[in-house]
Structure 1
Amino acid sequence: MAPTPAVQFEAGALVSTPSQLQRNSATKRDKTVVAAYPISIKFSTDIPEYTECILENFSEEDLHLDDRIIWEGSKSKHFPTEIPKGEMREFKHEADFGCPVVGSVVGLEYVFGEGNKYKWIIAWSNSKNELNKVYTEIIEDEVADWDKIKLSLEKSGQHSVAEKHQFLSEIVIDPTSATPTMKATFKLLLLVDDKPTSTSKA
Protein backbone atom coordinates (compact mmCIF):
# COMPACT_ATOMS: atom_id res chain seq x y z
CA MET A 1 0.00 0.00 0.00
CA ALA A 2 1.42 3.40 -0.99
CA PRO A 3 2.29 5.75 1.92
CA THR A 4 -0.15 8.54 2.66
CA PRO A 5 1.13 11.77 1.05
CA ALA A 6 1.59 14.90 3.12
CA VAL A 7 -1.30 17.34 3.07
CA GLN A 8 -0.67 21.08 3.17
CA PHE A 9 -3.24 23.80 3.58
CA GLU A 10 -3.62 27.40 4.69
CA ALA A 11 -5.98 28.62 7.39
CA GLY A 12 -6.99 31.94 8.87
CA ALA A 13 -5.76 33.18 12.24
CA LEU A 14 -6.34 30.40 14.74
CA VAL A 15 -5.60 32.33 17.92
CA SER A 16 -8.16 34.72 19.41
CA THR A 17 -7.11 38.34 19.74
CA PRO A 18 -7.38 39.66 23.33
CA SER A 19 -10.14 42.27 23.58
CA GLN A 20 -7.79 44.95 24.87
CA LEU A 21 -5.61 44.56 21.81
CA GLN A 22 -8.30 44.58 19.11
CA ARG A 23 -7.49 48.11 17.99
CA ASN A 24 -4.75 46.77 15.75
CA SER A 25 -6.08 46.15 12.26
CA ALA A 26 -3.05 44.66 10.52
CA THR A 27 -2.82 40.92 11.06
CA LYS A 28 -0.43 38.15 10.23
CA ARG A 29 -1.70 35.06 8.43
CA ASP A 30 -1.20 31.73 10.17
CA LYS A 31 -0.08 28.87 7.98
CA THR A 32 -0.51 25.33 9.30
CA VAL A 33 1.35 22.42 7.73
CA VAL A 34 0.01 18.95 8.51
CA ALA A 35 2.18 15.99 7.51
CA ALA A 36 1.45 12.27 7.49
CA TYR A 37 2.59 12.27 11.12
CA PRO A 38 0.62 14.01 13.92
CA ILE A 39 2.76 17.16 13.86
CA SER A 40 1.50 20.66 13.07
CA ILE A 41 3.63 23.76 12.66
CA LYS A 42 2.15 27.26 12.81
CA PHE A 43 3.92 30.40 11.72
CA SER A 44 3.02 33.89 10.59
CA THR A 45 3.75 35.09 7.09
CA ASP A 46 2.95 38.83 7.00
CA ILE A 47 5.82 41.31 7.34
CA PRO A 48 6.05 42.98 10.79
CA GLU A 49 5.61 46.76 10.78
CA TYR A 50 6.06 47.89 14.39
CA THR A 51 5.28 47.06 18.01
CA GLU A 52 3.20 49.36 20.20
CA CYS A 53 4.63 49.14 23.72
CA ILE A 54 2.94 49.99 27.02
CA LEU A 55 4.98 49.80 30.25
CA GLU A 56 3.06 50.17 33.54
CA ASN A 57 4.67 50.59 36.96
CA PHE A 58 2.22 49.83 39.77
CA SER A 59 4.96 49.14 42.31
CA GLU A 60 6.38 51.45 44.99
CA GLU A 61 9.70 51.66 43.15
CA ASP A 62 10.95 53.99 40.44
CA LEU A 63 12.30 52.08 37.43
CA HIS A 64 15.42 53.17 35.53
CA LEU A 65 16.53 51.85 32.14
CA ASP A 66 19.93 50.21 32.61
CA ASP A 67 20.43 48.10 29.50
CA ARG A 68 18.80 47.15 26.22
CA ILE A 69 19.41 44.83 23.31
CA ILE A 70 17.86 45.08 19.85
CA TRP A 71 17.93 41.77 18.00
CA GLU A 72 15.69 42.98 15.18
CA GLY A 73 14.27 46.37 14.25
CA SER A 74 15.12 50.04 14.51
CA LYS A 75 18.27 50.88 16.46
CA SER A 76 16.57 54.00 17.82
CA LYS A 77 17.36 54.68 21.45
CA HIS A 78 13.95 56.21 22.14
CA PHE A 79 13.02 53.86 24.96
CA PRO A 80 11.67 55.27 28.25
CA THR A 81 14.65 55.97 30.51
CA GLU A 82 12.53 56.22 33.65
CA ILE A 83 9.13 54.92 34.75
CA PRO A 84 8.22 56.56 38.08
CA LYS A 85 6.06 54.60 40.51
CA GLY A 86 2.39 54.79 39.66
CA GLU A 87 3.03 55.89 36.08
CA MET A 88 3.11 54.35 32.61
CA ARG A 89 5.02 54.94 29.40
CA GLU A 90 4.05 54.28 25.78
CA PHE A 91 6.27 54.10 22.72
CA LYS A 92 6.50 52.46 19.32
CA HIS A 93 9.36 50.30 18.10
CA GLU A 94 9.60 50.15 14.32
CA ALA A 95 10.71 47.17 12.28
CA ASP A 96 13.78 48.04 10.19
CA PHE A 97 13.01 47.40 6.53
CA GLY A 98 16.63 48.09 5.61
CA CYS A 99 17.84 44.96 7.37
CA PRO A 100 17.96 41.43 5.91
CA VAL A 101 15.60 40.30 8.70
CA VAL A 102 12.55 42.52 9.19
CA GLY A 103 11.12 42.49 12.68
CA SER A 104 10.80 44.11 16.09
CA VAL A 105 12.62 41.94 18.64
CA VAL A 106 13.92 43.72 21.74
CA GLY A 107 14.98 43.17 25.34
CA LEU A 108 14.91 45.89 28.03
CA GLU A 109 16.34 45.93 31.56
CA TYR A 110 15.07 48.29 34.26
CA VAL A 111 16.77 48.48 37.66
CA PHE A 112 15.14 49.30 41.00
CA GLY A 113 15.58 48.92 44.74
CA GLU A 114 18.40 49.94 47.06
CA GLY A 115 21.61 50.13 45.08
CA ASN A 116 19.68 49.08 41.95
CA LYS A 117 20.15 45.48 43.03
CA TYR A 118 16.99 44.22 41.31
CA LYS A 119 16.34 44.10 37.58
CA TRP A 120 13.07 43.90 35.65
CA ILE A 121 13.61 42.13 32.34
CA ILE A 122 11.07 42.39 29.52
CA ALA A 123 11.46 41.07 25.98
CA TRP A 124 9.21 40.80 22.96
CA SER A 125 9.37 39.29 19.49
CA ASN A 126 7.39 40.50 16.46
CA SER A 127 9.28 38.66 13.75
CA LYS A 128 8.46 37.44 10.26
CA ASN A 129 7.24 33.85 9.89
CA GLU A 130 6.63 33.51 13.64
CA LEU A 131 3.81 34.17 16.07
CA ASN A 132 4.48 37.12 18.38
CA LYS A 133 5.98 36.26 21.78
CA VAL A 134 6.92 37.86 25.09
CA TYR A 135 9.13 36.92 28.04
CA THR A 136 9.84 38.44 31.45
CA GLU A 137 11.86 37.76 34.57
CA ILE A 138 13.03 39.53 37.74
CA ILE A 139 16.64 39.02 38.78
CA GLU A 140 18.84 40.09 41.69
CA ASP A 141 22.54 40.95 41.88
CA GLU A 142 23.41 39.41 38.53
CA VAL A 143 24.12 40.47 34.98
CA ALA A 144 21.33 39.80 32.49
CA ASP A 145 22.23 36.87 30.24
CA TRP A 146 20.76 38.10 26.95
CA ASP A 147 21.57 34.89 25.08
CA LYS A 148 19.62 32.89 27.65
CA ILE A 149 16.80 35.44 27.64
CA LYS A 150 16.58 35.23 23.85
CA LEU A 151 16.26 31.44 24.02
CA SER A 152 13.53 31.75 26.66
CA LEU A 153 11.74 34.29 24.47
CA GLU A 154 11.81 31.94 21.49
CA LYS A 155 10.24 29.18 23.62
CA SER A 156 7.62 31.46 25.16
CA GLY A 157 4.16 32.49 23.95
CA GLN A 158 1.83 35.49 23.96
CA HIS A 159 1.75 35.72 27.78
CA SER A 160 4.56 35.61 30.35
CA VAL A 161 4.59 36.05 34.14
CA ALA A 162 7.42 36.27 36.69
CA GLU A 163 7.24 36.66 40.47
CA LYS A 164 10.14 37.37 42.82
CA HIS A 165 10.86 39.38 46.00
CA GLN A 166 7.18 40.36 46.38
CA PHE A 167 7.13 41.78 42.86
CA LEU A 168 5.09 40.55 39.90
CA SER A 169 5.79 41.10 36.21
CA GLU A 170 3.22 40.25 33.55
CA ILE A 171 3.44 40.75 29.78
CA VAL A 172 0.93 40.08 27.01
CA ILE A 173 1.03 40.57 23.23
CA ASP A 174 -1.34 40.02 20.32
CA PRO A 175 -0.02 36.77 18.81
CA THR A 176 -0.87 37.39 15.15
CA SER A 177 -0.83 41.13 14.45
CA ALA A 178 1.88 42.71 12.30
CA THR A 179 1.40 45.84 14.45
CA PRO A 180 0.77 44.29 17.88
CA THR A 181 0.44 45.96 21.25
CA MET A 182 2.83 44.65 23.90
CA LYS A 183 1.71 45.49 27.43
CA ALA A 184 4.09 44.94 30.36
CA THR A 185 2.95 45.52 33.94
CA PHE A 186 5.17 45.64 37.03
CA LYS A 187 3.39 45.31 40.39
CA LEU A 188 4.09 45.08 44.09
CA LEU A 189 2.60 42.08 45.84
CA LEU A 190 1.26 42.14 49.40
CA LEU A 191 0.86 39.17 51.69
CA VAL A 192 -2.74 38.63 52.80
CA ASP A 193 -3.28 35.54 54.97
CA ASP A 194 0.14 34.31 53.81
CA LYS A 195 -0.96 34.55 50.19
CA PRO A 196 0.37 37.12 47.72
CA THR A 197 -2.10 39.55 46.21
CA SER A 198 -1.52 42.35 43.73
CA THR A 199 -1.74 45.96 44.86
CA SER A 200 -3.57 46.86 41.63
CA LYS A 201 -5.46 45.35 38.74
CA ALA A 202 -3.98 44.85 35.28
Structure 2
Amino acid sequence: MATNVGGSSGPAKYTNVSLQNNSDDNLMLSDQKDWYGSANPPAVIQQNSEAEFKHEASSGNSKGGVVYSVENGIKWVTAWSNMEDESNKVYIDITKDAVDWFSIELLLANSTSNPPSVTKFGFTATATIQPDSSTPALTANLKKN
Protein backbone atom coordinates (compact mmCIF):
# COMPACT_ATOMS: atom_id res chain seq x y z
CA MET A 1 0.00 0.00 0.00
CA ALA A 2 1.03 3.48 -0.19
CA THR A 3 2.62 5.86 2.19
CA ASN A 4 3.28 9.48 1.40
CA VAL A 5 4.97 12.25 3.34
CA GLY A 6 1.66 13.15 4.95
CA GLY A 7 1.00 9.62 6.20
CA SER A 8 -0.25 6.19 5.21
CA SER A 9 -3.63 5.11 3.96
CA GLY A 10 -3.17 1.68 5.54
CA PRO A 11 -2.76 -1.86 4.25
CA ALA A 12 -3.78 -2.67 0.68
CA LYS A 13 -7.30 -4.02 0.25
CA TYR A 14 -7.28 -4.61 -3.51
CA THR A 15 -6.12 -3.18 -6.83
CA ASN A 16 -8.75 -2.31 -9.44
CA VAL A 17 -7.19 -3.27 -12.78
CA SER A 18 -8.61 -1.89 -16.03
CA LEU A 19 -7.03 -3.18 -19.24
CA GLN A 20 -7.89 -1.31 -22.43
CA ASN A 21 -7.34 -3.08 -25.74
CA ASN A 22 -7.18 -0.43 -28.45
CA SER A 23 -5.97 -2.80 -31.13
CA ASP A 24 -7.54 -4.82 -33.91
CA ASP A 25 -6.72 -8.09 -32.14
CA ASN A 26 -8.38 -10.11 -29.42
CA LEU A 27 -5.90 -10.48 -26.56
CA MET A 28 -5.50 -13.88 -24.92
CA LEU A 29 -4.29 -14.28 -21.32
CA SER A 30 -1.06 -16.27 -21.58
CA ASP A 31 0.38 -15.92 -18.07
CA GLN A 32 -0.24 -14.34 -14.70
CA LYS A 33 1.67 -13.94 -11.46
CA ASP A 34 0.39 -13.33 -7.95
CA TRP A 35 3.20 -12.41 -5.57
CA TYR A 36 0.69 -11.16 -2.95
CA GLY A 37 -3.05 -11.50 -3.39
CA SER A 38 -5.08 -13.13 -6.13
CA ALA A 39 -7.36 -12.42 -9.08
CA ASN A 40 -9.15 -14.01 -11.99
CA PRO A 41 -8.22 -11.83 -14.96
CA PRO A 42 -10.32 -12.30 -18.10
CA ALA A 43 -9.11 -15.00 -20.49
CA VAL A 44 -9.85 -12.79 -23.51
CA ILE A 45 -10.01 -9.04 -24.03
CA GLN A 46 -11.94 -8.34 -27.21
CA GLN A 47 -10.54 -5.93 -29.77
CA ASN A 48 -11.26 -2.27 -29.09
CA SER A 49 -12.74 -2.99 -25.66
CA GLU A 50 -11.92 -2.84 -21.97
CA ALA A 51 -11.76 -5.53 -19.29
CA GLU A 52 -11.69 -4.99 -15.54
CA PHE A 53 -10.88 -7.20 -12.59
CA LYS A 54 -10.06 -6.81 -8.92
CA HIS A 55 -6.79 -8.15 -7.53
CA GLU A 56 -7.63 -8.91 -3.87
CA ALA A 57 -4.85 -8.26 -1.36
CA SER A 58 -3.47 -10.81 1.07
CA SER A 59 -1.65 -9.80 4.28
CA GLY A 60 -2.20 -6.14 3.37
CA ASN A 61 -0.48 -6.40 -0.01
CA SER A 62 -1.58 -6.66 -3.66
CA LYS A 63 1.22 -7.41 -6.11
CA GLY A 64 0.71 -9.23 -9.37
CA GLY A 65 0.97 -9.21 -13.11
CA VAL A 66 -0.66 -10.40 -16.30
CA VAL A 67 0.58 -11.19 -19.78
CA TYR A 68 -1.66 -11.07 -22.83
CA SER A 69 -0.67 -12.48 -26.21
CA VAL A 70 -1.29 -10.08 -29.06
CA GLU A 71 -0.12 -11.32 -32.47
CA ASN A 72 3.00 -12.89 -33.99
CA GLY A 73 4.44 -13.84 -30.60
CA ILE A 74 4.04 -10.33 -29.17
CA LYS A 75 3.15 -10.14 -25.48
CA TRP A 76 1.77 -7.22 -23.45
CA VAL A 77 3.02 -7.27 -19.84
CA THR A 78 1.38 -5.31 -17.01
CA ALA A 79 2.51 -5.71 -13.38
CA TRP A 80 1.57 -3.73 -10.27
CA SER A 81 2.66 -3.27 -6.69
CA ASN A 82 0.20 -2.05 -4.02
CA MET A 83 2.23 -2.81 -0.92
CA GLU A 84 1.77 -1.55 2.63
CA ASP A 85 4.04 1.41 3.42
CA GLU A 86 5.18 1.92 -0.21
CA SER A 87 3.94 4.09 -3.04
CA ASN A 88 1.99 2.10 -5.61
CA LYS A 89 3.82 1.23 -8.82
CA VAL A 90 3.06 -0.20 -12.25
CA TYR A 91 5.38 -1.76 -14.84
CA ILE A 92 4.61 -2.28 -18.53
CA ASP A 93 6.36 -3.87 -21.48
CA ILE A 94 5.78 -5.21 -24.97
CA THR A 95 8.01 -8.17 -25.71
CA LYS A 96 8.55 -11.28 -27.81
CA ASP A 97 10.83 -12.78 -25.16
CA ALA A 98 9.87 -15.39 -22.58
CA VAL A 99 8.33 -13.75 -19.53
CA ASP A 100 10.75 -13.74 -16.58
CA TRP A 101 8.74 -12.87 -13.46
CA PHE A 102 11.91 -12.53 -11.35
CA SER A 103 13.22 -9.78 -13.66
CA ILE A 104 9.80 -8.15 -13.89
CA GLU A 105 9.59 -7.99 -10.09
CA LEU A 106 12.96 -6.18 -9.97
CA LEU A 107 11.91 -3.75 -12.72
CA LEU A 108 8.58 -3.16 -10.98
CA ALA A 109 10.40 -2.28 -7.73
CA ASN A 110 12.20 0.52 -9.60
CA SER A 111 9.14 1.75 -11.51
CA THR A 112 6.70 4.55 -10.64
CA SER A 113 2.96 5.16 -10.58
CA ASN A 114 3.17 6.66 -14.09
CA PRO A 115 5.98 4.99 -16.06
CA PRO A 116 6.99 6.13 -19.55
CA SER A 117 5.06 4.62 -22.44
CA VAL A 118 6.60 1.65 -24.27
CA THR A 119 6.48 1.47 -28.08
CA LYS A 120 7.61 -1.75 -29.77
CA PHE A 121 6.53 -4.05 -32.61
CA GLY A 122 3.88 -1.60 -33.86
CA PHE A 123 2.16 -1.18 -30.47
CA THR A 124 2.27 1.36 -27.64
CA ALA A 125 1.58 0.50 -23.99
CA THR A 126 0.78 3.03 -21.27
CA ALA A 127 -0.26 2.66 -17.64
CA THR A 128 -0.94 4.61 -14.46
CA ILE A 129 -1.87 3.63 -10.91
CA GLN A 130 -3.03 5.88 -8.09
CA PRO A 131 0.16 6.29 -6.04
CA ASP A 132 -1.26 6.58 -2.52
CA SER A 133 -4.41 4.49 -2.15
CA SER A 134 -5.14 1.15 -0.49
CA THR A 135 -7.70 0.51 -3.28
CA PRO A 136 -6.01 2.12 -6.30
CA ALA A 137 -7.31 2.24 -9.83
CA LEU A 138 -4.76 0.93 -12.33
CA THR A 139 -5.43 1.74 -15.99
CA ALA A 140 -3.29 0.12 -18.68
CA ASN A 141 -3.74 0.61 -22.39
CA LEU A 142 -2.43 -1.23 -25.44
CA LYS A 143 -2.77 0.63 -28.73
CA LYS A 144 -1.92 -0.49 -32.23
CA ASN A 145 0.15 2.19 -33.97
In the alignment, residue 133 of structure 1 is paired with which amino acid? K
Distance 2:113 2:86 in 1: 12
Per the TM alignment, residue 159 of structure 1 is displaced from its structure 2 partner at its CA by 1.1
Show the counterpart of 2:89.
133
Distance 1:29 1:72 in 2: 18
Distance 1:123 1:96 in 2: 16
Distance 1:156 1:50 in 2: 19
Show the counterpart of 2:98.
143
Show the counterpart of 1:82.
44
State which of 134, 139, 145 in structure 2 corresponds to 1:178: 134
Q: Does 1:57 align with 2:21?
A: yes
Show the counterpart of 1:96.
58
Percentage of matched positions with identical amino acids:
35
Show the counterpart of 1:46.
10
SS of the residue 2:108 aligns to: helix
Given that residues 15 and 62 in structure 2 are in contact (C-alpha distance below 8 angstroms), is that contact kept between their aligned partners in structure 1? yes
Decide which structure has the larger Cα Rg and report it: 1
Q: Deviations over 1:108-167 (max 9, x none)?
A: 1101213xx110000010001100000000001x21111111111000001122110110
Cα separation, partners in 2 of 1:28 and 1:68, compared to 1, 3 Å: closer
Instruction: Give the gaps of 5 or more residues in structure 2.
Output: none
Per the TM alignment, residue 45 of structure 1 is displaced from its structure 2 partner at its CA by 6.1
In the alignment, residue 105 of structure 2 is paired with which amino acid? K
Given that residues 90 and 111 in structure 2 are in contact (C-alpha distance below 8 angstroms), is that contact kept between their aligned partners in structure 1? yes
Instruction: Give the gaps of 5 or more residues in structure 1.
Output: 1-26, 33-42, 190-202
In the alignment, residue 90 of structure 1 is paired with which amino acid? E
Distance 2:114 2:5 in 1: 21
Pick which of 84-93 and 44-53 moved more. Answer: 44-53
Show the counterpart of 1:107.
65
In the comparison of the two structures, how many residue pairs are matched? 144
State which of 61, 67, 84 in structure 1 corresponds to 2:31: 67
Distance 1:44 1:158 in 2: 16
Cα separation, partners in 2 of 1:122 and 1:46, compared to 1, 3 Å: same
Q: Which has the higher contact order (CA 8 A, sep 6+)?
A: 2
Show the counterpart of 1:158.
113
SS of the residue 2:104 aligns to: helix
Show the counterpart of 1:123.
79
